[in-house]
A and B are shown apart, each in its own frame.
Chain A
């Protein structure tokens, strides 16, 4: 069955950087668009970023544009999110999710918690 496993979360000071990873298995990773979605504590879901299957197209939420960079390595079935200039309001559980054709965000990882605090 499809598996998405996030890693790289932790506690980081404001202004610092963190890189999240998402390891994918049991589906043809290179043919799926991949997304990051986050959820602040006790809050709703917020879409963060997407990368196309071949990595050529990327889109970001306004709240992270210019600070976060999404990337992927299709040879390693891995998705990344580089987060720079972190702010306390970036504190969230970060989920990776896949999308194919008209089916959005069909499979999700378990999430990784990022806490931005001094």
Chain B
């Protein structure tokens, strides 16, 4: 199975900060990479699919980039509602696999 490695595992940031989360695949996955946000006790929410396509209703401060094996999620200006855990997902080949998550906390 393809392994997805996220970094960092956690970070502390302030409102207004630019935040970058990275995800590395153990082999090439084309552009089949998605990002999810999860808040405590809630189901995950799709933010971005096919590396950089913004899901309907997701604020434009979220963006994705990358190709092949290395991908990033960028939050251009962190808002209070963005404190959550973020996961990448490869949907290139079954079994689909998630990264281990990045917890974004308030500094």
Contact = CB atoms under 8 A, between A and B. Distances in A.
B98 interface: yes
B49 A104 contact: yes
Contact of A45 (B32, B44, B49, B94): B44
A44 B101 contact: yes
Nearest to A64: B95
Question: Which secondary structure dominates where chain B touches chain A?
Answer: loop
Q: How large is the interface on A (under 10, 10 to 19, 20 to 34, 35 or more residues)?
A: 20 to 34
Contact of B49 (A50, A61, A103): A103
A22 B55 CA distance: 23
B67 interface: no
B55 A45 contact: no
15 contacts: A35-B96, A44-B101, A45-B38, A45-B89, A45-B98, A46-B98, A47-B98, A50-B94, A60-B95, A62-B1, A102-B50, A104-B91, A105-B44, A106-B49, A109-B43
Interface of A: 35, 37, 44-47, 50, 59-62, 95, 99, 102-106, 108-111
